[in-house]
Amino acid sequence: MNTNILINGITELLLISILIVLFFYVFQSIQLRIFQANKTNFVINEAFAIYMFGVFLSMAFMMEVMLNNLHAYIGMELPEGTLLIGQSLFWIFLLKSFLLFVLVYSVIFSLCVFLFSLLTTSVNEFRDIINNNRRSAILLSGLLISVFYLSRDITATIFSSLLNYDVNAPIF
């Protein structure tokens, strides 16, 4: 058994879990500010929970793309059996990938919410979600999930361009 592979796997799981939980926490705090509520007096209603489910699932789609590209690139650049946590290349590309993830996710998320709000001018979705309107939460969540699911290949190309690794190269 190669212990370096085991240590790499455990380290990646721990590191990615910590990053994801921190990002989810920060993003939920931002969402509470958008909803103009603070954590002490805001009760999470069903509509907000449905909406955040859509947000978290859309994040998971984007993070899957980021992690697959990062893992494929690191696997190509470093010799097999190398301990990743001791390599500066791993940390540099993890930081680049995470910053790109935050940027791309924020742009796509903002565009989706803006366009949805623009098309539904008579309805304020965020106020509806605060008032526990589950229909608005389901519609907005469904939009986010579908857009992020369908844009996975495009975001894979964006991430591979950062890493100078063409993950979606056509095979002729």
Q: Does residue 15 sit within a domain?
A: yes
The 10s digit of each residue's pLDDT in 135-158 is: 888 989 999 999 999 988 888 888
The pLDDT of residue 93 is above 70:
yes
pTM over the 0.95 mark:
no
In-domain check, residue 170: no
User: 172 pLDDT band (50/70/90 cuts)?
Assistant: very low
In the block, which residue shows the tokens 């209603």? 45
Please check whether residue 53 lies inside any domain of the structure: yes
Percent pLDDT > 70 in the chain is: 86
Residue 168 lies in a domain: no
Q: Determine the pLDDT at residue 171.
A: 43
Single-letter residue type at 45: N
pLDDT in tens, 65-88: 888 877 777 777 777 767 777 777
pLDDT band for position 42 (50/70/90)?
low
Average pLDDT over residues 16-26: 84
- CA angle, 107 then 147 then 169, to 5°: 85
Give the number of domains in the chain.
1
R_g of the chain, CA atoms, integer Å: 19
Q: Of 44, 55, 15, 66, give the one whose Cα is nearest residue 129.
A: 44
Residue 78 and residue 144: Cα distance in Å, rounded?
36
Q: What is the pLDDT of residue 127?
A: 82
What residues make up the domain containing 109?
Answer: 3-34+42-162
Is position 172 within any domain?
no
59 domain residue, yes or no: yes
Is 167 inside any structural domain? no
Q: Other CB atoms closer than 10 Å to residue 43's CB: what's the count?
A: 7
Q: What is the pLDDT of residues 95-122, one digit of tens each?
A: 888 888 888 888 998 898 888 888 887 8
Q: Which structure tokens are listed for 115?
A: 């366009």
CB 121 within 8 A of CB 28: no
- Is 171 among the domain residues? no
- The per-residue pLDDT of the chain, averaged, comes to 80
